[in-house]
Every structure is written in C-alpha cells, then in structure tokens.
C-alpha cells in the first residue's frame, strides 16, 4: 500500500466518529437543531474568539502534517468543510440591525453567530445615536440656562435684573453664564461611561440568547468545488450552506458554515481626498475630541453636519459649515429646512453654500504659515492641541478661513463592504450609489440565502429601520411569517438639530411630484412654545415652532406627511407617526381632543384653510 493510500485511510478513519455524530445530530436536512444533544455538540464547535487554537478554529494547522504526508488538496477541502462549525444563521456585523435579527432568530430556536471586527453595538451605540443624544441633551441645557432668570432663578454673583438684561444683549445665547462652569471633559467621561454600560448590556443579551460572537472580519467564501459523490458536497446542496471565513486581529482564520448569512456591516465615515486631509477628523473622531475646541469647521450638508454644528454652537464653539451644494438636508421638507437654517444663522453658525474644500493647511492663528518642520500628531482620530498652530480651510473660490481647532468631515458615508467577499460570492451592489448592497423588500440579495439589512443597503439609514428590518427577516426565515417585510414609506425620523426637526412620510415636494400639485393640501402653523411664554423679551425674538401637514385631497385628505420643527418635536412625532401609518385623515386629527397647553396640540388644531397660521401673543412683552 502506498503512502498516499495510507494517508487517505488514516484521515477517513479519524473523521469517522465526527461523521457519526453529525449524522445523529443533524437529522433533518435544514432548519434549527432539534434536540439538546445536537445543541450541545454544536456548542462545542462554536468558538467565541477566532484566535482560539482548536480544530474548529484553524483546520489548516491540524491537517498540516497529513498534507505533508501526501493527502491531496481535494481531501483537505473535504476535511475543512466538514470540521467547520455550522449555524442556522451567521450575521456579519454586530450593530443594531445585526443584533436585532440575531436575537429574534435565536428566540425561535435557531443557532446563531455574530461576526464583529470592532465593538458590539455598531455605530448607533458607540459613535452615533446614543453618544450623540448625550451631547445634544447637554447642548439643550443652554435653553435651561437662558430660561432660569425668567423663572426666578439667579446665578451666583449676579443680580436677576442684570442677567435678564444680559440675555437681551448682543451676547450669544449659547455663551457661558456667570458662575456656571462647563466641563467638556466631564461630559465626555459621563457619555463614555454610559456607552460602555450600553455595550455591556448588549453583550450580556447576546450571551443570554446563546449567540456566539466571533471577534474578527467575516468574509463570504465562494463555493469549494468538490466531487458530486462527496458527502460534504451533498450536504452543502441539501442544507444550502454558505461558508464564512473569519479572520481575527492576529491573523488566525476560522471557517463556519450557515444556512443563512446576513450582512449588516453598516457604513464607514469618509474624509475628502484633498491635500491636508490628514489634519481633519471624521464624525467618528468628534466623539474622541478631548478638549472643547474654540472654533470648528464642519464640512457637509447632511444630518450629521447639522447635528454636530448645532451641538457645538450651543456649547459656545464658533462654527463654520461648508457645503458643496446650495441646499442642506435634501431628504427633509424644503420649507421646514429653510426655517431651521434661519435659526442656525441667527444662533451664530456661519453657513457657506456652493463651495468645495480643496485644501486644509496648518497655520498660525492669524492664518500665516508655520515652519515646514512642524510635526503634526494625531491621537485616536482626535487632534492634539497645536498651541498657536491652527487649521486653515481653503475653498475653490479662492477664499481661505483660518483659526480652526478642528475640521470635521461630515460628508456622505460609504458602505462598509471592503474585504467581505461580495464579488467572489456574486452579491450584487449598486455601483451608481457607491457600492451599497442591492436588496428587495424582503432583504434578499442576488444570492439565495444571503441577506442584507441596515445602512449597508443605502435605504432608510436609521438604526430603528435596521432593527425593524432585522427582526422581520428573522420572522420570515425562522418564525413562519413568509410575508414579513419592512414598510419603508412610513419611517419616522428626527434630526437632533437645535431645535429638533421631526418628520414622517412624504415631504411637500415628494407628494406633489407623486400625486400632482392640484391633488395636495398643505396645512401649516407657527407658534411660540409655552416654555418661552414667560420670557421677558419681545415676542418677535422668541423662538417659533413650526408644524406642516401634507394631505392627499383625492383620498379624503389622507395624511401623507407630517413635519415638526421646535422644542419637543423629537418626542411629539412618535404617536402621530402611528396614526399616519394607519391611514389617518386630516378630519381624524381634527376630531382628536387636544391636550392643553402643549406643543402637540398644534398638530390636532391645524386650521382647515391651506395657509400658514401664526399663533403669537398680542402683547409684545409676553
């Protein structure tokens, strides 16, 4: 008997016990493992860290000696395939959408694994929704400081009358108040501790659901071609298996297989490719800024730009916004955005439209160049203090703005799909939109058994939308609800600007384009929130809130969209969004008893005439 034949026989005998166990535990051709013994065996093969050195983690090393003894590559491939851990669902990406799908699938009894290369929770938990909300709430306390003298509170070392006069002076409303100190460092510490608690909560929930977490980068692998007589080949065809390679941070590789694979990798922040781009930070870097900057440039026209600009300005920072287009927040209602922009400018934010940033340079505070020998250092994407050195932003119109402590790039994100094997697995992407994964309403990609949810699809790029899509996908795959899918037209959203802008449904422009201008009714109202009612300043200087309702005339004034701007908008919208989703009409809103006095009552008391109603006190001092 030759050496090769001996090696074949030895390998097959060594694999035999595993095949027996596999035959007992898999029983059916698809679906979840059906008994405790199967679950226990599967758990033995589910490794939490891709760097763990066992046969299920790095099979190549285990068969290295056998290969040297002469086992052909085909048997090596068979060995690798059969020794890999198998799951009902493997999720690539541990953010909002991926976690939601994984937990829902596990609740149905599915065996689930998540592959995450960074931190559990994704953008929303770590560098988005949650830490941003903390910063936004801190910025909102500026309103409380402004209101205190009008409600009888005084700051230490200052008379009440003097403070009221100061509030009415030219001093910006977001300037620090006498005796009230603000610590960016303390805010950052509290915010980061909160985020850490959230992250720990998610990790605990995954552990309690028996979901395995692999730390590393997941990559779809193209099918390994095996002989048709191979048991592994037949199992792959029967179980509709997909293979995912997981590379950990130390280079170790794990191979797992799954009946279903979900891609939920989200997006990545981008930095403009201009000279000096290394001096800028992304919106992720905003959360790593160690000290309160004095002057900041924000580049971009989307919601991230508007939110960061508002937060920084309210905390006393000089803010410049540079945008390529002539309109910001294009996905929101145009009139509502114009009203917000007026408030932004009045707050002191400087907005430059129709300009391109062509260079970022290092200079002294007065704009003059510094010595070329000066070395620029970065730490965790947050810029170190440069002393007298500052950043200058150069525009394509020849203008230059200098003296910035930070330049924040808040431009459109790109799908985070690098290195996950989309091309090899033949998963279709939309090259016209930068490579977002193409999905249908059921989250199916072009490859059967491979799905995508969340920002990586370029649709409804909001954490709640990703969560809903992920849960519905699990309902369809494992819960028996074959028609479960996400209804995109009714996605409520909030821009956490200063003040907040909340919206659900169609904008006025979208409604008229879809149904014709003659078939659309628009109802509006502006009003002063009761929070400002007692302020001893002229009525014309009090902040105004705005409500707009867009209705389809030919369907009994069915509400197509609702847009709110003002204090409390972020909390008001949710209930109304449900009413609109259920098909409420303007008359339904009219018939709802108002809660008085609240800002929400303005939504159910909108005038029937199609023009803007202005609600304002007659006394100019009220």
Return the pLDDT at 469: 96
Lowest mean pLDDT among 52-66, 186-200, 371-385: 52-66
DSSP, residue by residue, 361-429: EEEETTS-B--TTPPP-EETTEEPP-TTEEEEEEETTS-EEEEESEEEE-PPPEE--TTS-TTTTT--E
In Å, what is the CA distance from 48 to each residue of 211, 215, 246, 262, 506? Answer: 9, 7, 11, 18, 45
Q: Which residue has the tokens 């201008």?
A: 517
Pairwise CA distance, residues 47 & 166, whole Å: 63
* Residues with Cβ within 8 Å of residue 417, at least 6 apart in sequence: 263, 265, 429, 435, 437, 456
Q: How confident is the model at residue 614 (pLDDT cuts 50, 70, 90)?
A: low
The arithmetic mean of pLDDT across residues 2-23, rounded, is 46
Q: Residue 23: pLDDT above 90? A: no
CATH code for the domain of 331: 3.50.50.60
Name which of 265, 266, 302, 264 is nearest 283 in CA terms: 302
**Both structure tokens of 578:** 């449900």
- Would 607 be classed as within a structural domain? yes
Does 306 lie in the same domain as 183?
no
Does 216 lie in the same domain as 88?
yes
**Both structure tokens of 431:** 């090259």
- 3-class secondary structure, 527: strand
Return the pLDDT at 232: 56
98 among the known binding-site residues? no
Return the pLDDT at 595: 97
Return the pLDDT at 78: 42
Name which of 478, 427, 130 is nearest 265 in CA terms: 427
* Residues with Cβ within 8 Å of residue 311, at least 6 apart in sequence: 132, 135, 136, 138, 139, 498
Segment holding 311, helix H or strand E:
helix 303-314
- Would 311 be classed as within a structural domain? yes
Does 302 lie in the same domain as 251?
no
Q: Using DSSP, how many helices (H) and how many strands (E) does the chain show?
A: 19, 27
Q: How confident is the model at residue 154 (pLDDT cuts 50, 70, 90)?
A: confident
- Would 456 be classed as within a structural domain? yes
In three state form, how does the secondary structure of 200-226 look? HHHHHHHHHCCCEEEECEEEEECCCCC
Q: Quick check: 511 and 520 in contact, CB under 8 A? A: yes
316 among the known binding-site residues? no
Full residue range of the structural domain in which residue 568 is found = 499-615
**String of b and e for 98-125 (b: at least 16 CB within 10 Å)?**
bbbbbbbbbebebbbbbbbbbbbbbbbb
112 among the known binding-site residues? no
Sign of CA dihedral 71, 72, 73, 75: negative
- Would 83 be classed as within a structural domain? yes
The arithmetic mean of pLDDT across residues 412-431, rounded, is 95
Q: Quick check: 498 and 314 in contact, CB under 8 A? A: yes
566 among the known binding-site residues? no
- Would 321 be classed as within a structural domain? yes
Q: Residue 610: pLDDT above 90? A: no
In Å, what is the CA distance from 294 to each residue of 265, 299, 335, 403, 406? Answer: 35, 17, 32, 9, 9
**Which of residues 409, 444, 462 is at a domain's end?**
409
Indicate the number of domains in the chain. 4
The torsion angles phi and psi of 395, rounded to 5 degrees, stand at: -110, 160
455 among the known binding-site residues? yes
Work out the percent of the chain whose per-residue pLDDT is above 70.
Answer: 74
Name which of 308, 337, 334 is nearest 321 in CA terms: 308
- Would 348 be classed as within a structural domain? yes
Pairwise CA distance, residues 232 & 82, whole Å: 6
The torsion angles phi and psi of 229, rounded to 5 degrees, stand at: -85, -5
- Would 109 be classed as within a structural domain? yes
Q: How confident is the model at residue 458 (pLDDT cuts 50, 70, 90)?
A: very high
- Would 622 be classed as within a structural domain? no
CATH code for the domain of 590: 3.30.390.30
Does 314 lie in the same domain as 388?
yes
Return the pLDDT at 605: 96
Does 157 lie in the same domain as 222?
no
Does 459 lie in the same domain as 598?
no
**Which of residues 360, 383, 409 is at a domain's end?**
409
Give tens-digit pLDDT for 87-125.
999 999 999 999 999 999 999 999 999 999 999 999 999
Lowest mean pLDDT among 49-53, 325-329, 518-522: 49-53
Pairwise CA distance, residues 386 & 409, whole Å: 19
Angle formed at CA 557 by CA 551 and CA 558, multiple of 5 degrees:
75
Could you say which of 260, 394, 401, 596 is catalytic?
596
The arithmetic mean of pLDDT across residues 191-219, rounded, is 97
51 among the known binding-site residues? no
Q: How confident is the model at residue 181 (pLDDT cuts 50, 70, 90)?
A: confident
**String of b and e for 397-434 (b: at least 16 CB within 10 Å)?**
eeeebbbbbbbbbbbebbbbbeebbbeebebebeeeee
In Å, what is the CA distance from 472 to each residue of 135, 250, 360, 467, 469? Answer: 32, 35, 45, 9, 5
Return the pLDDT at 609: 72
Does 71 lie in the same domain as 29?
yes
402 among the known binding-site residues? no
Give tens-digit pLDDT for 515-548.
999 999 999 999 999 999 999 999 999 999 999 9
Does 257 lie in the same domain as 157?
no
In Å, what is the CA distance from 29 to each residue of 25, 32, 46, 142, 504? Answer: 11, 10, 20, 62, 44
Does 130 lie in the same domain as 16?
no
Pairwise CA distance, residues 220 & 214, whole Å: 15
Give tens-digit pLDDT for 482-511.
999 987 778 999 999 999 999 999 999 999
Does 297 lie in the same domain as 225?
no
Length, in residues, of the chain: 622
Does 146 lie in the same domain as 8?
no
Segment holding 101, helix H or strand E:
helix 96-107
Pairwise CA distance, residues 296 & 312, whole Å: 8
Average pLDDT, the chain: 82
86 has catalytic annotation: no
Does 251 lie in the same domain as 169?
no
111 among the known binding-site residues? no
Pairwise CA distance, residues 399 & 396, whole Å: 7
423 among the known binding-site residues? no
**Which of residues 489, 518, 534 is at a domain's end?**
489
The arithmetic mean of pLDDT across residues 573-581, rounded, is 96
**Both structure tokens of 287:** 């959360």
């Amino acid at each position: 008997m030759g050496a090769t034949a001996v090696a074949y026989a030895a390998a097959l005998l060594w694999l035999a016990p595993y095949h027996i166990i596999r035959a007992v535990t898999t029983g059916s051709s698809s679906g979840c493992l059906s008994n405790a013994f199967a679950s226990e065996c599967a758990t033995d093969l589910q490794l939490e860290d891709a760097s763990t050195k066992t046969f299920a983690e790095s099979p190549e090393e285990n068969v290295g000696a056998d290969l040297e003894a002469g086992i052909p590559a085909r048997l090596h491939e068979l060995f690798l395939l059969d020794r890999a851990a198998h799951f009902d669902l493997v999720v690539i990406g541990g953010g909002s959408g991926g976690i939601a799908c994984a937990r829902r699938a596990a609740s149905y009894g599915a065996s689930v694994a998540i592959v995450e290369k960074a931190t559990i929770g994704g953008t929303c938990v770590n560098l988005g929704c949650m830490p941003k909300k903390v910063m936004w709430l801190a910025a909102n306390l500026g309103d409380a400081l402004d209101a205190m003298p009008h409600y009888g509170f005084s700051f230490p070392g200052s008379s009440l009358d003097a403070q009221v006069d100061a509030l009415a002076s030219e001093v910006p409303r977001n300037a620090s108040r006498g005796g009230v100190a603000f610590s960016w460092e303390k805010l950052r510490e509290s915010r980061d501790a909160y985020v850490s608690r959230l992250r720990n909560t998610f990790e605990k929930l995954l552990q309690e659901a028996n979901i395995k977490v692999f730390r590393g980068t997941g990559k779809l692998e193209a099918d390994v071609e095996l002989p048709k007589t191979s048991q592994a080949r037949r199992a792959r065809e029967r179980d509709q298996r997909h293979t995912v390679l997981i590379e950990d941070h130390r280079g170790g590789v794990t191979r797992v297989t799954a009946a279903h694979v979900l891609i939920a990798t989200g997006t990545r922040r981008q930095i403009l490719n201009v000279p000096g781009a290394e001096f800028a930070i992304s919106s992720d870097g905003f959360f790593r800024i160690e000290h309160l900057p004095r002057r900041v440039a924000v580049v971009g026209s989307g919601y991230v730009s508007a939110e960061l600009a508002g937060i920084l300005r309210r905390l006393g920072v000089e803010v410049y916004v540079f945008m390529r287009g002539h309109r910001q927040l294009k996905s929101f209602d145009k009139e509502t955005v114009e009203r917000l922009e007026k408030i932004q400018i009045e707050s002191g934010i400087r907005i430059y439209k129709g300009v391109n940033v062509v260079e970022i340079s290092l200079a002294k505070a007065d704009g003059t160049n510094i010595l070329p020998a000066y070395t620029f250092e970065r730490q965790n994407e947050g810029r170190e203090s440069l002393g007298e050195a500052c950043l200058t932003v150069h525009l394509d119109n020849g203008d230059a703005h200098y003296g910035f402590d930070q330049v924040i790039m808040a431009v459109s994100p790109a799908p985070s799909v690098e290195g996950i094997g989309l091309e090899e697995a033949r998963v279709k992407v939309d090259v016209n939109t930068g490579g977002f994964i193409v999905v249908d309403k059921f989250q199916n990609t072009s490859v059967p058994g491979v799905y995508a949810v969340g920002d990586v699809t370029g649709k409804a790029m909001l954490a709640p939308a990703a969560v809903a899509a992920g849960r519905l996908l699990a309902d369809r795959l494992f819960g028996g609800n074959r028609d479960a899918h996400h209804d995109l037209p009714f996605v409520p959203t909030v821009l956490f600007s200063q003040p907040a802008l909340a919206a659900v449904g169609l904008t006025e422009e979208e409604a008229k384009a879809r149904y014709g201008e003659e078939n659309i009714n628009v109802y509006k109202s502006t009003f002063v929130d009761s929070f400002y009612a007692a302020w001893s300043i002229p009525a014309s200087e009090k902040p105004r809130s705005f409500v707009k309702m867009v209705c389809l005339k030919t369907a009994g004034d069915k509400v197509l969209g609702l847009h709110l701007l003002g204090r409390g908008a972020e909390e008001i919208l949710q209930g109304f969004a449900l009413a609109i989703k259920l098909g409420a009409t303007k008359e339904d809103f009219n018939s709802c008893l108002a809660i008085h006095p609240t800002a929400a009552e303005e939504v159910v008391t909108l005038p029937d005439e199609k023009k803007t109603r202005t609600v304002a006190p007659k006394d100019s001092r009220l």
